[in-house]
Amino acid sequence: NRNTRIQAQIAATGASGSRVNRREYVERLDGLVFGDNPREGFFQENAFYHPDLRFQLAFPRSFKTQNQKQAVVGVSEAQDAIIALTLAAGASPEAAARQFFTQQGVQAGRSGRDTIGGLPAHTAFFEALAEQGTLRGQVSFVSYDGKIYRILGYTPAARFSTYEGAFETSIRSFRPLTDPRYLQVQPRRVALVDR
């Protein structure tokens, strides 16, 4: 049954079933990127570097970090706090902050213009209603190289004082990446060798 199904699927694709020219195929492999592409961002210990977008951000050492397509995220060991970096919509940090606070259940606390890593920013504290209770956090919107970055840290309201310093330190670590060691990093590529 499996063979019949596979043959039917092959027939449906219109593939001729002819063999691929091995030499042409192998030549196409030369220079192919393999593994994670560090040009799209990479971690070194607790620091995140993004050579193509030319920024860096440090996470608390105890946080488990991950570089996802839409966000760079760090989660506390107890899994009760999150720090996330994403791109935000808006023409300015203030406009992005206003848009953030239009979300249902999100209430603004102390907020205002700021400077982070020498860049124009807007920082605010907030509370948000969630299924599991009230969350409390800090968010900053930073303007850099024509983009607005949102750096957000939050935890259950009762735990905010435990993580407030970590959120502040991480958010304030955002800055332009200038170190050539990180700016020039290149992905690993397949290299063909004649036998």
Q: What are phi and psi for residue 26, nearest 5 degrees? A: -65, -40
Measured over the CA atoms of residue 88, residue 142, residue 163 and residue 49, the dihedral's sign is: positive
The span from the CA of 134 to the CA of 128, in Å, is: 6
pTM, entire model: 0.80
Nearest to 121, CA basis, from 146, 87, 150, 152: 150
What pLDDT is attached to residue 132? 83
What pLDDT is attached to residue 16? 64
pLDDT in tens, 58-77: 999 999 999 998 999 999 99
Nearest to 139, CA basis, from 117, 109, 175, 104: 109
What pLDDT is attached to residue 195? 62
Residues (pLDDT < 50) of the chain are none
What pLDDT is attached to residue 159? 96
